[in-house]
Amino acid sequence: MIHISLPDGSIKQFEQPVTVHEVAASIGSGLAKAALAGKITPSAEQQTSKTESEGRLVDTSYVIDEDVALSIITAKDAEGLDIIRHSTAHLMAYAVQELYPEAQVTIGPVIDNGFYYDFAYERPFTPEDLAKIEKKMHELAAKDEVVMRELWDRQEAVSFFKSIGEDYKAEIIASIPSDEPISLYREGEFIDLCRGPHVPSTGKLKVFKLMKVAGAYWRGDSNNEMLQRIYGTAWATKQDQDNYLQMLEEAEKRDHRKLGRELDLFHFQDEAPGLIFWLAKGWQIWQQVEQYMRRVYVDNGYQEVKAPQILDVSLWKKTGHWDNYQDNMFTTESENRVYGLKPMNCPGHVQIFNSGLHSYRELPIRYGEFGQCHRNEPSGSLHGLMRVRGFTQDDGHIFCTEEQLQEECAKFTELLQQVYRDFGFTEVLFKVATRPEKRIGSDEVWDKSEAALMESLKKSGCEFEISPGEGAFYGPKIEYTLRDAIGRHWQCGTIQVDFSMPKRLGAEFVAADDTRQTPVMLHRAILGSLERFIGMLIEHYAGAMPPWLAPEHVRVCTISGQYDDYAMAVVARLKDMGFRASADIRNEKINKKVRENAMQKVPYILVVGEKERDEGTVSVRARGNHNLGVMPVEDFIQRLADDIALKRDVTV
């Protein structure tokens, strides 16, 4: 008798092996129709790895022949949506080969909000080609062809794909470890290599759209051939897809690169790829962000420090960065010594800690730095402020005892949430990234570190997800992800536990029993890269920054040249109070002045004419074309001061 435990606690019994689909059908015909896959968790006695305890996804045709726990996966589940997208990627490859038989299929994974597939083809795909491919995909989906999994002999699979001209696919199969099965999925005349699972039939794929074509090197190596990458999106419902496409349209309007040009914030040049030229207005935003974070440092017990930009490569070898990160580092030489331009700040902070002898009574010691870092990112990955080669982190490191670890993590989580609220982000997602395959340190240390992070979030009342294998090479981390005004998610802050680097670099403190012990080191950042965070702010606010962040608070516009002196006097008064203000005294009609200054997204536009001059008032327009009427200058000053003090946006 086979016992299958269901999520509601009930148990289904079967006298012989049964498929996932048959289990779903035994629960109800509606569930059987909606089922896309199953999630199998063996009983505790049968589990051979941590992965199995978390469950594994299988096709609905998978045969269950032992006692297991089973969840039926539908389009309502996150895993179900991934399966839809993965299956749609295969459907796209199927359509491409139907239309362009000479095209070779390479690799096609699921990505955020969609999928892509890379193809080798003799000519570039055009927008017209994408329309044809998408039409063919709908035709193939309408056939509702069964998607079947097959296990093949390795050499047989290599020979087969070579025989049909799929050399890339043959190369992939040959590189798969010998202990892994070679599984192929067949739908109609199309067959492709894949671990799966996939939807039961192509008819499950109804809502998708091909988005664009881009270039991509085979296996991501610029020494290899350039392939064509077709991106697509797929969803469970048309409404979900419509919402996503509307979000993309809004995101295009908010693109920080576009707004950076329109608002004169920053620019880039070919002479400095991945490096930013900040203009005065953009640098003003930067200064507001940095000065705010500097106050956060002071108010929360951080000592602000500054470490060198370059360090001898021997130090990077001690930390493990050279072995794990050297391809991303810029190096330079002087007097027969090799130096690394720092890609991160942590080794420098350990040297600062080591400059004196510390007692356990001093711990925790918290260092903060606006540390400028450089990383040799591939040119194809550079993206405005979001991905650069030179950036500044609001970087910090906490040296503490193991007993202080959880409390420090919990305090940091609380602080981080307050900072995000001040910047206008109210929704934060929490993820614990656990040990990667390539790492330093013992399993015992990793167990201790991961447990501390999870416990700190539990004590803070934060629900969190696990990101298996996504930790840094030296320790696990909590990743803090923000949701912006149009629903996009941005991974931003982090705190990482590190038992290894302090020991490697000889960091010690004097314990209560007078022994020398190694502190735990917490790597932490709230904003991460200031450049990237400012890019996020620009897009979150569509360039219309709240007054406390805005590069300019007020623009004073004159109705005619007779009132220029009064306008300049108002500006002088505002500047005396510490506000950022200027006057528009051009010989232009007032409506044109107001319209053009509104396009610069200044929070307040003040209009002055004869009445305002004679009465010592200003006519106030808040951003968004809201006329707030006439008020005394001092009343407006108080209003603006309150906006800034409360970190609120312009109010109507």
Active site residue 395: yes
User: Hey, is 511 helix, strand or coil?
Assistant: coil
Are the beta carbons of 113 and 233 closer than 8 angstroms? yes
Name the residue type at position 317: K
* C-alpha–C-alpha distance, residues 55 and 547, integer Å: 50
Q: Which of 395, 484, 643, 649 is catalytic?
A: 395
- Picking from 91, 292, 106, the residue whose alpha carbon sits closest to that of residue 210 is 91
Check 393, 406, 417, 496 and give the catalytic one. Answer: 393
* Residue whose token pair is 């999520």: 7
C-beta atoms surrounding 648 within 10 Å: 13
Residue 523 is assigned to a ligand binding site: yes
Kindly tell me the sign of the dihedral angle through the C-alpha atoms of 136, 138, 139, 140. Answer: positive
d(CA 234, CA 111): 11
At residue 199, φ and ψ (nearest 5 deg) are: -60, 155
Place of tokens 């015992």: 444
Contact 227, 259 (CB under 8 A): no
Active site residue 523: yes
21 is in an annotated binding site: no
**Across-strand partners of 192?**
185
**CA 265 – CA 179 distance, rounded (Å):** 55
Q: Is 489 annotated as a binding residue?
A: no
Catalytic residue list contains 154: no
Question: Which token pair is 37?
Answer: 């896959």
* Rounded distance between C-alpha atoms, residue 422 and residue 273, angstroms: 32
Residue 346 falls in the annotated catalytic set: yes
CA dist 516 → 173, 209, 449, 499 (Å): 53, 62, 21, 15
Give pairs for 189-196: CB < 8 Å, separation 24+: 189/98, 190/90, 190/93, 190/94, 190/97, 190/98, 191/150, 192/90, 192/93, 192/94, 192/105, 193/157, 193/161, 193/169, 194/86, 194/90, 196/57, 196/58, 196/59, 196/149
Catalytic site residue from 86, 439, 523, 553: 523
Say if residues 493 and 528 touch (Cβ distance below 8 Å).
yes
Residue 383 among the catalytic residues: no
Catalytic residue selected from 254, 349, 477, 524 = 477
Specify whether 239 is catalytic. Answer: no
Question: Which is it for the CA torsion 310, 315, 319, 324, positive or negative?
Answer: positive
**First and final CA of the chain: distance in angstroms?**
70
393 is catalytic: yes
Task: Please tell me which residue in 39, 284, 346, 374 is annotated as part of the active site.
Answer: 346
Catalytic residue among 86, 374, 397, 613: 397
The active-site residue, picked from 198, 375, 389, 553, is 375
Q: What is the dihedral of CA 172, 174, 178, 180, to 10 degrees?
A: 30
Q: Which parts are annotated binding residues for Zn(2+)?
A: 346, 397, 523
Catalytic residues: 346, 375, 393, 395, 397, 477, 523
Q: Which parts are annotated binding residues?
A: 346, 397, 523
